[in-house]
Amino acid sequence: MFRHLTKPQIPNRRLIAVLVTLPLLVFLHVNHAFAQTKITVIGTVVDTVGAPIIGANISTTNKKGNNTASDGNGKFILDTETGAVLKISYVGFISKEITITAGQKPLRIVLSEAKNQFDDVVVTAYNRKQTREALVGSVTTVKPGNLKIPSSNLTNALAGQVAGVIAYQPSGQPGVDNANFFIRGVTTFGYKQSPLILIDNVELTSSDLARLNVDDIESFSILKDASATALYGARGGNGVILVKTKEGKAGKAQINVRIENSSSQSVKNLELADPITYMRLSNEATRTRYPLNPLPYTENQIINTQNTINHAPGSNEYVYPAVDWLNMLFKKRTSTQRGNMSIQGGGGVARYYVAGSYDNDNGILRTDIRNNNNNNVKFQNYQLRSNVNINLTSKTELIVRLSGNFNEYNGPRTNDASLSTDLYNLVMHTSPVDFPAYFPADSANLNTKHILFGNTAAASGIGNYKYINPYANLLSGHQNFSESRMLAQLELNQNLDFLTSGLNFHAIFSTNRYARFQSEMHYDPFYYTYDNYDKITNQYTLRWINDQPGQAREYLSYSPGGSSLSTFLYLQGVLDYSRTFAKNHNISASLIGTQQQTRNANAGSLFDSLPFRNETLAGRATYAYKGRYYLEFNFGYNGSERFSENHRFGFFPTIGASWIISDEKFWGELYNVFDRFKLRASYGLVGNDQIGSQRFFYLSDVNLNGGNSASFGTNNGYSHNGVSINSYENDDVTWETSKQTNIGLEFTLKKKINFIAEIYNNNKYNILQNRGSVQPTLGLEAGIAANIGKVNSKGIDIQVDGSQNIGKDFSFGLRGNFTYSKNKFTQVEEPHWLEASRYLLGQPLNRQYGYIAERLFVDDNEAANSPKQIFSSSGTQPKGGDIKYRDLNGDGKLDGADQTYIGYPTIPQIVYGFGLTTTYKNFDLSGFFQGQAKVSFFIDPARTAPFIKSPDSYYTGNTQLLKAFADNHWSEDNQNLYALYPRLGPDGGIIENNRQASTWWLRDGSFLRLKSVEFGYSLPLRITKALNVKKARIYFNGLNLLTWSPFKLWDPEQGGNAFAYPVQKVFNVGLNINL
């Protein structure tokens, strides 16, 4: 399979001889004044199953600086003195101390794993374990326990947890509630901005990460700089998330069971004005704009609607409705269930980890017995995992990994791809007083089987003859999708000592298949209004208003929806070498080759029907001296099918170094304060070939049966399709590349507080961008793209953690992290604007753009004598109470030339988190806060404008009125020039001035949130013995409990996604049992 890779060669024996001999010659000059007490200790460090521990630290407690590390076979040699105490340690394992005696025989030291210290083991590229001391690149590890929140979506736990990761959750809907996350922010305006996600070394998607069970995770690492990601080549251009799942351990089978039940509700619900306020302010909107027009609602209607609200005798809620659509469609809370079980154990030959889990997430939509299907959102996830390690020989290990992930979604039929999220939009575009959700059957409809959904006769001339009735959308059908991913993976670890000591080989063959099927069933609702209302008898007759052909039908229609099927193959080979020479010199190296292929069974085009392939050759070389100085070189040599032969392969090298200053003799007394102090730095290039939607940039995409048809014949009755060009070939398109610099500082304060700070600078260039300077006179049918864009991003990551035991019963721990990441365009092709304020150059990515609003106009006279602000096609002039914009260029009129960049980007530049954990005897309590800052978003002035009958081409309805707008808007009685909402209006054209993107609608998206709290109690030993269990713990926890923010209308984490399914506040109870 590795036909493009060179065959690994056995290291040159002469070179090895030189590397061994020269250091030995140096040490021949060592002073032997104390030769009579010296002894050379030889030993091997292994774990509990006999596997060698590479890089274990061996030091003498009586002499600082006398240490060494175990080599690739776990072996070591150390010169010391008789009577010395040898300390053997390796992060993640319990240290041992051995006193050296005269005539000491070779040692075999067995270290047992310390489960509570695994976070000190840094898992880097290709699952290589390194000590923090040996780490050169920027890698952040997260304890899996910190990712345990009462949610079935792991990505929702990332925000504020990881230094260097910008994450936020825009929606809380089950099944589509993934967080958006970026490593060190957004570094490109190109096609791909998300990081590479690897689970057990295999590339998977953010959805696979989202559904990964936290209890199955052994380690979770974030690779952030060029040195850390270089071995992944072009795939790691935006950072890497590296997850390793648990494997078997020798010993008696250990069974772990976890069961949880949650109750959830919206973090913050939209507050709407009551129906009477809605009617009166709708009248005000008409009166203030069209004083001669009739008002939408008469006083009689308002009085009778109030009677409906008060349930007054003789009131009729169907003739004078007052519908609380939010309460009618959405419940206050819902429940969720989660459960998982794992079995772990084995012996010296084979070890296993087998796990299964089930998550049942229910939405907050109401159900109706008149509907023959469950229209609430229901998302179910099933997972199975098996990892088996088999020692084929003492030097050969086989690992077999099998996993299956299955999702089932059911929800209401809606009008967009965001599933039930759309229902919030429907509610916000439906008047509470124009018609009821449904009518009870009158005498003429007693035998009618379908639901008599309400609407209004006024809708007969609008769109498809109806306003929106969200209740009808909820009940008239449902959709579902099923998706699965089955994965099988074989790994082989081979010790190659028979070739040369310290040589190892690791190979992976992995395949997985992803399938998704979607379907929908629905009927077209019947809409009714009332006629001939007799107030004395309180009776009316119903009239069917969408009686045109094809507008309504009782029978179900079936739509197969979309389906997809893909197969992924991956092959990896890694050759590792590690040797320690002359006790103080450690050399390690790796050579890596990978190939992968993806095939789509139902591709939408000829290009996409071809297999997607790429390959990588990567390497690493590290030199360490005395476990104090480290130098590392990495490279990635990548091949991509997307580029022409001139650019098909890219070479991306990196170099890094670190220095443990605290091991120097001059550190002296500082060691009592800073017992570990380290500096590190890296620089390198990283590539990316995911830079556009075009499959092969060096090929033209020509449709020989496309548009541009020509008519001919006597009556021009015949036509022949012409040729259309979708894209032109471009041999010069090449890799998007970034130059990355990273400098890190690490120290430990009094062996209790760990501190890591890093600054970074990333210059990304060759970003693919469509050329805007190509003249139309060239007659090109498709745009021309070129690698012309450049972006600079820089920032700082800080991570702090510490713990302290107070007595034997009480302990506490603190942790926190801070990420600041900013970026800017340093080269981008754009039009030649006359105004400097319109240029992207120098601006942050994703920054808002619009007018600067000064205040509201004092009166009509000021509006008439100010620079012209005419935004509607009808030429409507603004009035007093409308928004006054700044004429930036001073030309006496407001237009696009007066727009500029305003606020912060839509993606936060600052993300932070901090938490506390305490234990007292069998009780434990923890809490974590998450926050973000330097982020802005718009309140959409078009979708939130009240009373508008058709705010865009999609929605047809009368928009709701937010309570905040009702309470604080400009009016003749409240001429507040800085009111929250400007002068009201009944239609889009008349208030077009107020619907422009501007600072008036720009909001600060910063917040601080109590992300999670957990209180637990572990049953005493006497009780667990009686129950025949090893350990049992019951706990109560919550998610998204409290939020502090200057923005009050909805959850600020959703940003401008105002009417999406709300992020959920969760209260959970759980039981964890170890058998």
DSSP 936-966: EEE--TTTS-TT-S-SSSS--S----BHHHH
Nearest to 565 by CA among 611, 603, 596, 606: 603
Tallying the residues shown for the chain, one arrives at 1075
- Cα torsion at 937, 940, 945, 951 (round to 10°)? 180
Q: List, for residues 738-780, the tens digit of each pLDDT value.
A: 999 999 999 999 888 999 999 999 999 999 988 877 766 666 7
User: Which residue ranges of the chain lie beneath pLDDT 50?
Assistant: 1-36, 115-119, 415-421, 461-464, 951-955
Q: What pLDDT does residue 92 have?
A: 66
Q: How far is CA 416 from its chain centroid?
A: 22
Q: What pLDDT does residue 3 have?
A: 37
Q: What pLDDT does residue 71 have?
A: 80
Q: Which CATH architecture has domain 38-113?
A: Sandwich (2.60)
Q: Do the bridges between strand 526-534 and strand 452-454 make them parallel or antiparallel, or are there none, so unpaired?
A: parallel
Q: What pLDDT does residue 29 have?
A: 37
Q: What pLDDT does residue 32 have?
A: 38
Q: Could you tell me the residue ranges of all domains in the chain?
A: 38-113, 836-1004
Q: What pLDDT does residue 50 have?
A: 72
**β-sheet bridge partners, residue 1032:** 1073
Q: What pLDDT does residue 10 have?
A: 35
Q: What pLDDT does residue 101 have?
A: 86
122 contacts 212 by C-beta, under 8 angstroms: no
Q: What pLDDT does residue 31 have?
A: 38
Q: CA torsion sign, 947 to 951 to 955 to 960? A: negative
Nearest to 788 by CA among 187, 186, 190, 185: 190
The strand ranges marked E within 372-466 are 378-393, 396-412, 438-439, 452-454
Q: CA torsion sign, 1037 to 1043 to 1048 to 1049? A: negative
Q: What pLDDT does residue 120 have?
A: 64
Using CB atoms within 10 A of its CB, is residue 537 exposed (0-12), middle (13-18) or buried (19+)? exposed
Q: List, for residues 67-105, the tens digit of each pLDDT value.
A: 788 887 788 888 888 888 888 987 667 788 888 888 888
Q: How far is CA 63 from its chain centroid?
A: 48
> Over 909-943, what HEC string results?
CEEEEEEEEEEECCEEEEEEEEEEECCEEECCCCC
Q: What is the DSSP letter of 267?
A: S
Q: What pLDDT does residue 381 have?
A: 96
Residues 6 or more apart in contact with residue 160 via CB below 8 angstroms: 167, 817, 911, 912, 913, 928, 929, 930, 931, 932, 1011
Q: What pTM does this model have? A: 0.84
